[in-house]
Structure 1
Amino acid sequence: MQASVDPKTPLLTHLIELRRRILMCFALFICVFAIAYYFSDTIYVFLQQPLIAAFDDPSQRRMIYTGLHEAFFTYLKLAFFTATLVSMPMFLIQIWRFIAPGMYSHEKRNISPLFISTPILFYAGAALAFYVVMPLAWDFFIGFENNQSKGVAVELEARISEYLGIVIQLTLAFGLCFELPVLLMVLAKAGIVTPESLRRYRRHAIVGVFLCAALLTPPDLISQIALGLPIILLYELSILLIHWQTNASAIAPKSSPSQ
């Protein structure tokens, strides 16, 4: 007869498996970081496109750095930022593969959509920031230039570190705020929020959304509205998803066969 397998896996085995997956993620991050640093000039030129499009004559413009080490550390930050964005799906996959074997089938069905939607929502928010918000914001800020013949001309000469900092700030702000549906779904699964409570506190949520938008975005009304409106729409979408999930969970036991 074949010996029965102990369903309880030793803790050491779990720790070894966790270490292996962490090392895989770290190795991927280092590889992407090295590649991103090698192509940092190309990546930075790509990130400059919204600013270049806002200039009437980009050939007459330049970006500066005022410290000897500023350009070097800017490219390091750019490589780190790129590696983080590229490696995020792999991190989530490794987390899922680590926790999935210890879950029931219905738990996998409930949680797997959250893992799938997390990077999708983040990249959607980052794309909105880069392709919609940044061009509008840069047009707004460049509108304060003064090239009149009288007096000293006021023109923009952006520092590379400051520009990258604003790009990262906007990208992270939009990407993380777009994770609101995932957060609310997790809270709903934990029984902390319900569709009724979300509807009841809708006005408070709207105020909180625009307050966060004012803190996370540059001080211009365009960026704040561009971040606040999609988040409010995602909030309403979260209410519908949680309501649908609650009804599906209530119906599922009734439709299951009796034991």
Structure 2
Amino acid sequence: MEDISVIIVSLKKKLALLLSLFFVVFMVSFQFAGLVISTIKDDLLPEGAKLVYVSPLEIMLLKMKIALFIGLFFIIPFILIFAVKALMKRNMVTIKVKKGPLFVVSVVALISFLAGVSYAYFIMLPLFIDYLYLNAAASGVVATYSIFSFISFAVQASLIFGLVFETPLVLTTLTRLDIVQYQTLVTYRKHIYVICLIIGAVITPPDIVSQMMVGIPLLIFFELSLIIVRIVGKGKKKDKT
């Protein structure tokens, strides 16, 4: 068994590497955050609506939030790699990871994430925001959005949908590795529905429209995942029978 001091030193090195990567990405992203804000404003702000800032530090905090999101999403793959390697090294998991399938899964994961972000940014958000704006305008209300709330909503929604689009890949991979069985997913389908709606409520603002905007796509992608898993997600045990 590994000496505890060796494990602590290894963890410190990995933590230092992750923090260094995060800091570098954060600083670079912060420099381009203004361009991100300007682009989102030009693309998504309805004609006639206005953006205002309600506190002196709002723009600075918004840039930091965007850079924080980018930094965190950049280091997540490294965290997963370190975690899997640590578990395999200590024989806590018996999964053999081959470079070929791992590369394919990584590429599909990246494509799925970008597809989700693109869907949210170019299709869903323009329709959703325009609908809300026209609905408010029809009531005689002038749309004046806080720049922090508006840009944060657009960024968060895009990133969330990027993760939602990963659902089929995640469930297919888990079933292929015999970590989760297809029949288990079917058996606990109703429970998973509730979990999806709870996730939608937790990661969105406290209004029913935003919650459904995330919860319903999660349900749809879960059902899509079940179809894909049924076709290609058979685990090794099933393959042997």
Q: In which range does the TM-score fall when normalised by the shorter chain?
A: 0.7 to 0.9
Q: Distance in 2 between matches of 1:237 and 1:222?
A: 23
Q: Distance in 1 between matches of 2:226 and 2:104?
A: 12
Deviation, 1:65, is 0.6
Query: Which of residues 59, 64, 76 in structure 2 aligns to 1:71?
Result: 59
| Structure 1 residues 184-223: aligned runs within 5 Å | 186=174, 194-202=181-189, 205-206=192-193, 209=196, 212-213=199-200, 216-217=203-204, 219=207
* 1:167 and 2:147 are equivalent in the alignment: no
Q: Which residue of 1 aligns with 2:37?
A: 44
Q: Which residue of 2 aligns with 1:125?
A: 116
Q: Which residue of 1 aligns with 2:69?
A: 81
| Between 20-29 and 82-91, the greater mean CA deviation after superposition | 82-91
* Letter in structure 1 aligned against 2:68: F
| Between 217-226 and 234-243, the greater mean CA deviation after superposition | 217-226
Q: Is the 8 A contact 2:95 2:177 kept in 1?
A: no
Query: Which of residues 3, 25, 33 in structure 2 aligns to 1:32?
Result: 25
* Letter in structure 2 aligned against 1:135: P
Deviation, 1:231, is 4.1
* 1:136 and 2:127 are equivalent in the alignment: yes
Q: Which residue of 1 aligns with 2:137?
A: 146
Q: Is the 8 A contact 1:96 1:115 kept in 2?
A: no
Q: Identity, % of aligned pairs?
A: 20
* Letter in structure 2 aligned against 1:32: V
| Structure 1 residues 46-65: aligned runs within 5 Å | 46-52=39-45, 54-55=46-47, 62-65=50-53
| Between 226-235 and 153-162, the greater mean CA deviation after superposition | 226-235
Secondary structure of 1:39's counterpart equals helix
Secondary structure of 1:108's counterpart equals coil
Secondary structure of 2:80's counterpart equals helix
Aligned length: 236
Q: Distance in 1 between matches of 2:147 and 2:93?
A: 50
Gaps of 5+ in 1: 1-7, 255-259
Deviation, 1:160, is 1.1
Name the larger-Rg structure.
1
Secondary structure of 1:63's counterpart equals strand
Q: Which residue of 1 aligns with 2:237?
A: 249
Q: Is the 8 A contact 1:74 1:161 kept in 2?
A: yes
RMSD: 4.1
Deviation, 1:41, is 0.9
Deviation, 1:167, is 2.1
* Letter in structure 2 aligned against 1:13: V
- Length-normalised TM-score, structure 2: 0.72
Post-superposition Cα deviations, 1:213-248, rounded to whole Å, max 9, x if no partner, equal 466556575983676246423444246437755453
* Letter in structure 1 aligned against 2:146: R
* Letter in structure 2 aligned against 1:131: F
* Letter in structure 2 aligned against 1:160: I
Post-superposition Cα deviations, 1:130-163, rounded to whole Å, max 9, x if no partner, equal 2222111111111134389xxxx63222211111
Q: Is the 8 A contact 2:196 2:218 kept in 1?
A: no
| Structure 1 residues 11-22: aligned runs within 5 Å | 11-22=4-15
Post-superposition Cα deviations, 1:90-134, rounded to whole Å, max 9, x if no partner, equal 433444454455569961238958973665544443333222221
Q: Which residue of 1 aligns with 2:144?
A: 157
Post-superposition Cα deviations, 1:156-189, rounded to whole Å, max 9, x if no partner, equal 2221111133124323432444454426854896
Q: Which residue of 2 aligns with 1:107?
A: 95
